[in-house]
Structures are given as structure tokens and as C-alpha cells.
Structure 1
Amino acid sequence: MTGLPDYDPVRPGALRSEFTPGSTRWAVRRAQWTALGLAPEDQGRPKIAIVNTSSKLGICFSHLDGIAELVAEAVWEAGGLPFEIRTTAPLDFVTSAGRKARYLMPTRDLIVNDVEAAVEGAVLDGMVCLSSCDKTTPAHLMASARLDLPSIIVPGGFQGGGRYGGCSVDIDTVYESVGAVQAGTMTVGELGELADSAIQGPGVCAGLATANTMHVLAEAMGMTLPGAAPIRANSDRMRALAADAGRRIVEMVAAGLTARKIITGQAIENGVRVAMALGGSVNCVRHLAAVASEADLDLDVVALFERLGEDTAQLAAIRPNGTHQVWDLERVGGVRAVLRTLLPRLHGDALTVSGRTVAELSGDAPEADGTVLRRLDDPVRPEPGLLILRGSLAPDGSVVKVAGAGTARRRFTGPAEVFAGEDAAIAALGTGDIAEGSVIVLRGMGPRGGPGTVFAASFVAALNGAGLGGKVAVVTDGELSGLNHGLVLGQIMPEAADGGPLAGVRSGDTITIDLDDRTVDTVPLRHGEPVTSGRPAEERGWLGQYAALVGPVQQGAVLRRPKPATPPSGH
């Protein structure tokens, strides 16, 4: 034992991963890495984590192992030392099978902790995160903000659709066709044939759902290289950008360009602007709030959506919001073109991982084509694609994707039909017991009430597949998909598990949704006892830990240290 510290971070020019020669950490790590075939002279290179959310469970991330190899080669060529790190790899359409999808939302925070343990535990110098399905991109942004290391996000890209019955189809078509089966207009056999044809190639859902929305917002916030989103999965362009990210991360380590120099309040505001202009997934509100929380930014992201929404218009109608496809947005310039179009309302001096500002990058970006991406003076609609609604039912806010509301009435008043979960609601749909003009309430399904958000998305998809989209409104604190459309209010805050007004609603109560006034109200108003769909206090394992730690959804539903018990008086 030398008595020296394991590493000396104040030594001029030292990498944080460079341990003092002769120390315990230096010796045992050298033994491990030499056994891996790494020459001692190479072990002093900048050490880069390649965070790979890959598994064999689904197609969304089936290509990422190959992408990880490309990034590793580029890191090595640039003078770095790459280490691939595997984490939990959640997939919404597969991981949702267990416990009514309760594991889905908690996997986001599990990934954050997984990355922290691996990267911080090994004292690595930077990381490239390969992001794919819905929860991975926000998790990688959160981990980047928490660790404040040089970090780059590499979006995994979108999948191709197929053809069935002479029509273009994709996973969204499959999702909604379950409702057609329930309504008796499609057979189970036909649904199976449709499912077999719907996906062609790797990548995430081919629509502006949560995965593509978060890929887009990662670039809007400056955490990807320019041109990274949306992008066809495993395309030549995506592979080239992944290699560029491997080279760039080594430069960022040398320059000391860390995540919190990029994930600032200005970056979050830019992300909010882009989310509203494109009509992104409703889930992006809580994810951006979580990123802000991990970056220790004092931001009320829900209020930010409200304030910036006063002068933000919808500039594109990408499926499921309209007829254009996500590959159309890629074709006309993707996020680069969106940022150039919105530049007058963005923080142009916000820094990006490229080392250039948003304004500098916009200088050589494509202009809006005027069809897929409209100009500021000729929007798709004069309001943002996402709205925050408040009122007696949601005093802390709720989120509606007005871009996907279609022909739904701007003011919808109807009697509440309260269901304990989406299975009961789907069964009622199958028996014809969902009445036109009603407001379906699915509650007790939020992060605390599940615990872990419980799926409401399948019911909404089935509702549209049954032809009732726009004729019925849905109000929920449960898990929605970015593919959902219709008059659907998600992220009701506070959630029913916190004893808010949603907990007090009874079947037959009147609920009014007013998109023009941006309000949602219930009559009569009751504050009921907390309503949960599960038994959070009785959960064991990961869900029990999540239930004990998860914070309110309006603050991003991040995990927090439990408050200490108040000691008895006299002690």
C-alpha cells in the first residue's frame, strides 16, 4: 500500500479515470484490463462508455449491437478506450405484458440508476448512449444530466412499415385493429395476418409517438449531433452519424464539454417549443420535467408548456396527427429544418454537443418545405400541438395532444363512465356498453397508484379501432402511447392516488373539456379518498421500491430520497 489516493483529479491534464500509479485501484484495474487484451499503454486513453439498450426481446433495438461496434471502432480511432455497457432494455409493446404494464414507466428510472452504477462506479470519462424505445431516450438524458459527464445521445431510428390488403400498415394499424376485432369488423385471423405484415426492419414505431418524439427532443436540446432525428434505423446515414458520435465524444472529453453545459433551462425551453410545434407525444411533458429535475434546474415544466404555448403554432401533421409520415419529416430536413423554422422563438445561443450553437447550426439547415413542415406564417393550426388544461378536475394540469384530436369537438361535455382499468373498459367496448358522448375515466393508474403507470393506451387504441374516436372522450392518469389520438386527456395531476379530484369522480358526474379555454372541470367536485389500481404499500421487489420512492408526476415522477420520519415529541 502506498498511502496515495486512488486518483488525483487536480493533477493538471489528468483524466478523472486516470488513477495514481501504484495505488490499489490502478493495480487491480490494470490486471483486469490487461487480461482483456488491452495493452498497458492504451489504458491511459479517455475511457468512453457505450451505453447499449439492446436485447433480443424486440425489433426496436435489434440493430444496436452492430451500432455499438461502429461507435467503439470510432472511439478507438479517435484515441479513446471504448467499453460497451448493457442496461435494462424496455420495449413498450413487449414489456407492457407483465402486471398491466406497471414495469414500463419504472424502467426509465431503473436505466438511469443502471447507467450511474456502471459509469460512475468505474469512473469513466464520457458516454455515448444508444437510445431506442420510449423510455430509453429520457433515461439517457436524465443519466447525462445527473452524472454531468461529456455525453452524446445516438437515436436508434424508426422502423419501416409493411403492406396488408393493398394498404400501407404499421404497428399503429395493428394496435388500433384490436378495437375492430372487439367491434366484430375484423377477425382474429385477419388481425394475425396484419400483425405478421406490419413491421419491416429494426427501429422504433414509425410515427411521432413517444420514441420518435424523444429522439427529436434530444436533438432539439442539443444532445445529439445535427441531423440525428428522425432517422431510418440502420440506414447508411444513421450508421455514419453513430461513428461521428464516437469520434466526437473523445473531443468533448478533451474540451471538458459536459452534459449540464448543454442541458440548461434554455435547452429545455427549446425542447418544449419543438414538442408543441410538432405535436409530440403527451408523455414528453413528464420526461422533460424529469430531465430538468436531474439537471437540478428550478423549472416548472408544466407551466413552461402553458407559457410558451401562448405563441407557438403547430407546424407539421405527422402520423398519428395527420397524413404525413415520420420519414417525410426526415426527407425535408428533420429537426435541423424545424430548428431553423422556429429560430426566432428559440434560444439560438444554446450550445449543442457539436460545439456549435443552435443558431450556428441553423445557418446551413434546410428551410421549411411548406408542405410537410410549414412556415411560421402558415402553420397547420394557430395553436400548439400539445395543450395543458387545468380546472377543477386537474388543478395541477393535464395534457392533451390537440394535434391528434382530429374532428373531435372543441368543447365536450358528457357523463363520466368510471372504470377500474382498461380491461373492464375494453370489455364494455366489446359489449356495446360504451355510449357515444360519454367521458371514460380510467384512474388510479399513475406512477404512485399503479405503482408504475398502468396501461390506458390499449383502450384508447381499441376505441379508435371501433370507430368511436372523437365520439367519446377519455380522461386518465394512466399510461398513454404517443400513437394514441382522439380527445384524450392524459397525465391528470394530481393523480388519483394522491387523493385529487380525479379520485372523487363517480359515474354519472358531468365532465367538461374545453380546448379553447384550456380547462377541464367536473360537477360535482369531490375530493375522494386516494384511489389506486394496485396495492403500492404491499408491493415487493422493484415495484415496491419504486412505489416508496417515486415523486409526483408533475415533477417528472423521478425517484426521491424518502423523507425522514418525524421523531415523537420529547425526543
Structure 2
Amino acid sequence: MLDNVPRAGDHEGLRDALDRAPARAHYRAMGLGDEDLRRPFVGVATTWTEVMPCNLNQRALAERVKVGVRRAGGTPFEFNTIAVSDNLTQGREGGRASLVSREVIADSIELVVRAHYFDGLVCLVGCDKTVPAAAMAVCRLDLPSVLLYSGSMAPGRWRGRDVTIQEMWEGLGEIDVGSMSPEELLELERASCPGAGTCAGQFTANTMGQSLDFLGLSPFGHGQLLAGDPDRGAAAERIGELVMEVVRADRRPSSLITAHALENAITSMVACGGSTNGILHLLAIAREAGVPLAIETFDEIASRVPIIADLKPSGRFVAADFHRAGGTPAVLRELVAAGLMHEESLSVDGRTLGELAAAAAPAADREVIRSVEAPVKHGAAYAILRGSLAPGGCVLKLGGRQDVVFTGPARVFDGEDECLSAIHAGAIVAGDVVVVRYEGPAGGPGMREMLAVTAALIGQGLGDSVILVTDGRFSGVTHGLMVGHVAPEAARGGPIAAVHEGDVIELDVPRRELRLAGVDPETLAERLAGLTAPAPRYE
């Protein structure tokens, strides 16, 4: 967040100064008249693209947002930025572009707004990196803003059950062990993703879309409407009207994104069993907002907040069920009732979370959204570990498991591709600790998601009997005992670079430790001193 961002109404004499006549000529070329130029200017940023289904409805939604802006007395200007599909690039070279795209999206939104002196901003977001990117951008700009998550796709139906992209990835592992045929997988392919929208479980996109509500950047409940819901258009118009209220009230992200708001977002992420990518993204949002946030805060909250939403990938239900059961307003109501929310935190509509909770209806389906007193799982969604293998920390996706202790021999792979080949060849067995290194932000580069690896393990039935340890990260689709974000990463000389095949690795959740057993500090130091860093993949 910077202090020299143009403030509302600062159009450098655009409306009447003689030297701005050339600029006005271009506005008139777009059909604007004197009255349009006198109104507040509102940017409408979309991440629409045809390279994935996730954001495919945003062009239509942007038109409806602009209707709302005009109705409320503003002049809207739509502009577009990029998006990279995690699913389409998963397990491939293109996956290195995904996390990098977050920064490019944030930068591009910031640049357009800085250049064009908008009074307010609406960001339409969907696929994984677009959500935190837009939040990062508005924190930098500190301009009156509203973010709108464009919605999940409906689940597919296959052989009498709801299916998502999760079943597709895990099906590849099932083929390896003969529990699914290639023909069945191709049949599933045609059923699993029936239309526009983000992936249909509590994966990264939905995790971050819900977090926007608890951060205060989006009104509660709008994001849970499915992408194809007939009410989506009317909701988008209300967002256009809301941003004009926010502009007139001069309500800025700096008044919303506080330490308490970030803790609320973390609490909701834990309660809904969200993606570990949320840790990366909330840390980045906090940094852009200038709010200190320690990684230990995630562990502290996860240790006391149970999982109350029974959602895929670890649970039973999908995003459509979550919306039907009451969505984020129902979750907020439960968390406030249990004393787990900072109720004084503000939402973008000007109400406090306490006021919103008081107005929220109870969950309509107690199988999907439960109470804190009778949760889906009492154990933590994840844990932050340290130790000799991760002195800078790492994150373990627990999915509600408690007091996990695991010891096993290291199976070491310098990259995802090498590891995936070994899994498909049947070389990984129960009890192994699979180490995938040189997949961090620098070593990858780009910190790819290990979904192809984790899904193959799950599909082969090894999700609870094998641990994966990596300096890369995980898709929100991932579940099982997976340790990611190991720091320092291998490319930066972290201890993970010095693990040898067969070394014993110990995971101890009660002690919050990940360590190399039987390798004393002197031996580890000698190994690290003798390492030669691999050549970078890109020059």
C-alpha cells in the first residue's frame, strides 16, 4: 500500500481543463458525453479468458456490473488482464507460470488504475491466482474497491454420484492399480466438468473466493452463487451499485484489511478445510496491506478451530452443496456464535461481521455445514512444522487428522517429473517418505503444484501410508499426508537438498517437527558444503 496513489476524483482537470481536451476527445470517441465525464470513474477489471472454463462467465458479468455502476451514478470502464490455468498446466512445464501469474495480474491491475485515475474499482476474479492477485492490487492502490468471485462450476454426474476434477486426477492413479480402466476414465472425462466456473470443490479458487468475504473485500454470500446460476447477473448489478456506495463513503481497503480481518480469513479457511495455497496468498495480501502476519498465526488458529464444512477434497460435498447450505453467511454465523471471529471487523458494505452474523440464517443442511460444537473433524486442517529438514518452516496438510507421527525411508527425486514416473512404475510403497526437491520458487522456478504426484499416490491407495515432502506446493485438490513449502528450498541450500536416498525422515505433528533422523548436524553441514547447485532450467 503506497501513499502516492491518485485519490478519488483526481482526474487532473479532465472534466474542464483546456489542456485535457485531447483526452476528452478520446473519451467522446467511445460515446461518452459531458454528464458521463462528470460522474465518478469506476474501473471494472476482469480476468476473462477462453483458455479455461474458470472465468468464462466474466464478460457477461462485467456487462451487468457496468449496468449497476451506471444506475448508481458512475461511469464504468472495463479492462482485462491475464489468467493461467493450474489444471491445464498441472504436471507440465507450463505449471511454472502459475504462481508467477499472480504477480503479473496484480501488477497489471495496479498499472491500469494508476494510469487512468479511477475513483473506484471492481475486480472480477475466478481461477486460483486471480483472487489473491486482485486483493494484492487493491491493497497497493488503497482505492475504494469491491471484489467479486465469479463462481464455481456445478459438479458433474457420473454413475450416480457428484464428480469434480479431483476424480479425474485420482483416476490416473487408479488406472495404475487396476481399480479403474482407461475406458472408464475417458467416460469420466466427459462428465466431470459440465460448464463454466472454477473447480467445484473446496480447492484453491473456492478457498480464496470465500476468504474475500472474511477479509471484507467482497459482500458475504455473492461468491457462492454458481457461475451458471440465473441470479448471477442480478448479483453482479448489485456489485456495481455497491462500488458506488463504497466510492461515496470513501471506504478503502486499508480500513478493511487489518490484523483482525486476516485472522478472520484464516479462521474461515481452517473451518472450511481450505487449500494450503491460502497460506501463501494471505501472507502475500498481508504484506501488500502492510499488516504484519507470522506463519505461526496459521498454526495457532488451526490448532483451535475445527473443520465444520464437509467439503471435497477431504470431505463429501461440493461447492453447489455449500451454497445450498447457506455458504459463507452460515459459516460466519457459526464462527461468531463460538467466539472465533473478530466481530468488529468491517465488510465492504459497511456492516460489521457481528451485524452480518446476526442477520444470517442458520445452515440449511447440517451435514454440509455443522456447528463448532459438533464439527466434521476436531483435528486441524493443517500444521506448521519446523525442524532439521525445514528450519524455515513448512506446511503439512492434515485434513483433520490428529497427533500424526510417521517415520520412513526417504525416496529422493530432483523434480516432479522423475517422481511421477517412479509412482506410475509402482516403485513407491507404503511407509515411504517421498522427497521432491528443486521445485521451489527459485529452483522450479515457479513453485509448481504437485497435484499429479499427490493424485497418483491417492489413486493407488497410498494417501495415508506415504508422506510427500517437497519445497514445491500443492493444489487445493490435494489431500493426504503432504508436506509442502519446505524452507529454505533446495535451490537456496536448504537441508532438503542434502537428503540421501534411504535417510530416515521423521514427521512429528504433536511436536511440530520434520527432521532427518540419524543425521547429526555436523554430517548435515558437510553434505550441504559439498553440494553443487544444479544449473538453472532457464537462462
1:390 aligned residue (386, 390, 393): 386
Corresponding residue number in structure 2 for 1:314: 307
Corresponding residue number in structure 1 for 2:395: 399
SS in 1 for 2:43: strand
2:345 aligned residue (335, 341, 350): 350
CA separation of 1:25/1:58 partners in 2, compared to 1, >3 Å: closer, same or farther?
farther
How far apart, CA to CA, are the structure 2 residues paired with 1:52 and 1:166?
Answer: 36
**Native 8 Å contact 1:96 1:102 kept in 2:** no
Corresponding residue number in structure 2 for 1:27: 21
For structure 2, list consecutive stretches of 5 or more residues without a partner in the other structure.
none
CA separation of 1:534/1:348 partners in 2, compared to 1, >3 Å: closer, same or farther?
farther
2:333 aligned residue (325, 340, 356): 340
How far apart, CA to CA, are the structure 2 residues paired with 1:345 and 1:266?
Answer: 11
How far apart, CA to CA, are the structure 1 residues paired with 2:100 and 2:532?
Answer: 20
AA aligned opposite 2:312: R
Corresponding residue number in structure 1 for 2:48: 54
**Native 8 Å contact 2:124 2:147 kept in 1:** yes
Corresponding residue number in structure 1 for 2:170: 176
SS in 2 for 1:274: helix
SS in 1 for 2:440: coil
**Native 8 Å contact 1:411 1:514 kept in 2:** yes
CA separation of 1:28/1:331 partners in 2, compared to 1, >3 Å: closer, same or farther?
same
Residue 89 of structure 1 and its aligned partner are, at CA, apart by 1.5
Corresponding residue number in structure 2 for 1:457: 451
- Over the matched positions of the two proteins, sequence identity in percent amounts to 38
Say yes or no: does 1:150 pair with 2:144.
yes
**Native 8 Å contact 2:14 2:23 kept in 1:** no
AA aligned opposite 1:73: V
SS in 1 for 2:45: strand
Corresponding residue number in structure 2 for 1:416: 410
AA aligned opposite 1:396: G
Corresponding residue number in structure 2 for 1:230: 224
Kindly provide the CA deviation profile for residues 411-442 of structure 1, in whole angstroms up to 9, marking residues without a partner as x. Answer: 11100101112221121122211121000011
CA separation of 1:411/1:346 partners in 2, compared to 1, >3 Å: closer, same or farther?
same
**Native 8 Å contact 1:404 1:486 kept in 2:** no
Say yes or no: does 1:491 pair with 2:485.
yes
**Native 8 Å contact 2:378 2:400 kept in 1:** no
Bigger shift: residues 31-40 or 102-111: 31-40
**Native 8 Å contact 1:503 1:531 kept in 2:** no
CA separation of 1:469/1:97 partners in 2, compared to 1, >3 Å: closer, same or farther?
closer
Corresponding residue number in structure 2 for 1:377: 373
Bigger shift: residues 102-111 or 270-279: 270-279
Bigger shift: residues 355-364 or 509-518: 509-518
Kindly provide the CA deviation profile for residues 384-415 of structure 1, in whole angstroms up to 9, marking residues without a partner as x. Answer: 3122122222222211221176xx98211100
How far apart, CA to CA, are the structure 2 residues paired with 1:498 and 1:9?
Answer: 39
Kindly provide the CA deviation profile for residues 493-525 of structure 1, in whole angstroms up to 9, marking residues without a partner as x. Answer: 222222122122111111111223322111225
Corresponding residue number in structure 2 for 1:281: 275
Kindly provide the CA deviation profile for residues 171-196 of structure 1, in whole angstroms up to 9, marking residues without a partner as x. Answer: 11111111123334444343222212
**Native 8 Å contact 2:306 2:380 kept in 1:** yes
What does 1:551-566 align with in structure 2 at a 5 Å threshold?
A: none
Corresponding residue number in structure 2 for 1:547: none
Corresponding residue number in structure 2 for 1:137: 131
SS in 1 for 2:480: coil
Say yes or no: does 1:71 pair with 2:72.
no
AA aligned opposite 1:77: R
2:356 aligned residue (342, 354, 361): 361
CA separation of 1:420/1:25 partners in 2, compared to 1, >3 Å: closer, same or farther?
farther
**Native 8 Å contact 2:6 2:114 kept in 1:** no
Bigger shift: residues 233-242 or 417-426: 233-242
1:471 aligned residue (459, 462, 465): 465
Say yes or no: does 1:293 pair with 2:287.
yes
What does 1:177-196 align with in structure 2 at a 5 Å threshold?
A: 177-196=171-190
SS in 2 for 1:491: strand
How far apart, CA to CA, are the structure 2 residues paired with 1:246 and 1:428?
Answer: 51
RMSD: 2.2
AA aligned opposite 1:345: L
Say yes or no: does 1:481 pair with 2:482.
no
Bigger shift: residues 442-451 or 494-503: 494-503
Corresponding residue number in structure 1 for 2:495: 501
For structure 1, list consecutive stretches of 5 or more residues without a partner in the other structure.
1-7, 540-571
SS in 2 for 1:107: helix
1:206 aligned residue (200, 203, 213): 200
CA separation of 1:179/1:390 partners in 2, compared to 1, >3 Å: closer, same or farther?
same
SS in 2 for 1:316: coil
Q: TM-score, normalised by structure 1?
A: 0.87
Residue 44 of structure 1 and its aligned partner are, at CA, apart by 1.9
Residue 95 of structure 1 and its aligned partner are, at CA, apart by 4.2
AA aligned opposite 2:435: V
Kindly provide the CA deviation profile for residues 459-512 of structure 1, in whole angstroms up to 9, marking residues without a partner as x. Answer: 101111122211211011113110101100111122222212212211111111
**Native 8 Å contact 1:52 1:68 kept in 2:** yes
Corresponding residue number in structure 1 for 2:426: 432
Q: TM-score, normalised by structure 2?
A: 0.92
**Native 8 Å contact 1:450 1:534 kept in 2:** no
SS in 1 for 2:279: helix
SS in 1 for 2:114: helix
How far apart, CA to CA, are the structure 1 residues paired with 2:28 and 2:62?
Answer: 22
Say yes or no: does 1:253 pair with 2:247.
yes
